[in-house]
Amino acid sequence: MEIWIPITIAAAFLQNLRSVGQKHLKGVMGTTGATFVRFGFGMPFVLVLWLLLHSAAGYEFPEIHGTFLAWTLLGGLGQISAQFLLIYLFSFRNFAVGTAYSRTEPAQAAIFGLVLLGEMAGFGALIAIAVTVIGVMLISVARVPMSWSNLFRSLISRTALIGLASGTLFGVTAVAYRAASLSLGGPNYLMQATTTLAVTITFQTVIMLAWMLWRDRAEVGRIAKAWKPSLFVGFVGAAASLGWFTAMTLQQAAVVKALAQIEMIFTFASSVFFFREHINRTEVAGCFLIVAGIVLLVLL
């Protein structure tokens, strides 16, 4: 088994934990604060690891250059914007449809990978990506009244367009992070990924902190009061991000993001086994397609 596969699965599991932690924080702070903690409280862990790889493991710091900074800037801003659009969807009654379209990220990453990096995913990988995307979309709309007329209207709805825009930005972000890491050219995939993450997360922390100081200083105080759970979110978020960056240094972003759809299985399992939520046939079919797509991705 190639190493990027277990790394991606671990990252998906950790991201699910981070999402649970952020959901808890939403009870004591706003959306901006709950989003910030994944960056601000994760940054110290990433910087410590970065320094340890240099001082303890003996890896040289890669040379930071303009191309690298341009890709990290694109990825950092793209991720913040994509997350904002995804959260904005929750203000709509039929946000589930928009969220489903945001999950087209792997398919869009395949397109942007081809356009920006000239990377073409294999036919088997493209089939697997399509299967996982359909599975995730089925789960996302499983509890929405569906008919052919509703489906057609959903294709041109405002929430669908916002969801597609979010998926587009997430797709661009994934490709940008891969391009940034690869542009360093060494000394190895772990140091390249950690360097990319260290620069990106520092930039995102500064941007979001400046925004809160300008627009909502009270949020900073709420974050400070909830520093313990925020530290947990920051740690698991940083660990998940390191997994994503490492996997995308080793493998095409679209392929990594397709396997990352396994996070939906983790989320779905949590809702069923811990919250005792009812399972309907559409959700079962969606889970089956995700698993089938992942099996195809790994075997082909």
Q: What is the pLDDT of residue 16?
A: 81
Q: What is the pLDDT of residue 95?
A: 56
DSSP symbol at 157: S
**pLDDT-flagged residues of the chain (< 50):** none
Q: Is 208 in contact with 32 (CB distance < 8 Å)?
A: yes
What sign does the CA torsion over 287, 136, 246, 242 have? negative
Q: What is the pLDDT of residue 68?
A: 97
Tally of CB atoms within 10 A around 232: 17
Q: Is 286 in contact with 141 (CB distance < 8 Å)?
A: no
By C-alpha distance, which of 196, 150, 192 is closest to 176?
196
Q: What is the pLDDT of residue 181?
A: 97
79: Cβ contacts below 8 Å, ≥ 6 apart: 169, 170, 173, 204
By C-alpha distance, which of 204, 179, 169 is closest to 42?
204
Q: What is the pLDDT of residue 265?
A: 78
For 144, list phi and psi in degrees, rounded to 5.
-105, 130
- Please state, in angstroms and rounded to a whole number, the distance separating the CA atoms of residues 197 and 195: 5
pLDDT digits (tens, 9 = 90+) for 240-276: 999 999 999 999 999 998 888 888 777 767 666 665 6
- Crossing angle (nearest 10°) for helices 227-250 and 189-215: 140
151: Cβ contacts below 8 Å, ≥ 6 apart: none
Reading the block at residue 78, the tokens are 């793209």
Q: What is the pLDDT of residue 230?
A: 94
- Helix or strand (DSSP H, E) at 59: none
* pTM of the complete model: 0.87
Q: What is the pLDDT of residue 260?
A: 87
Q: What is the pLDDT of residue 225?
A: 92
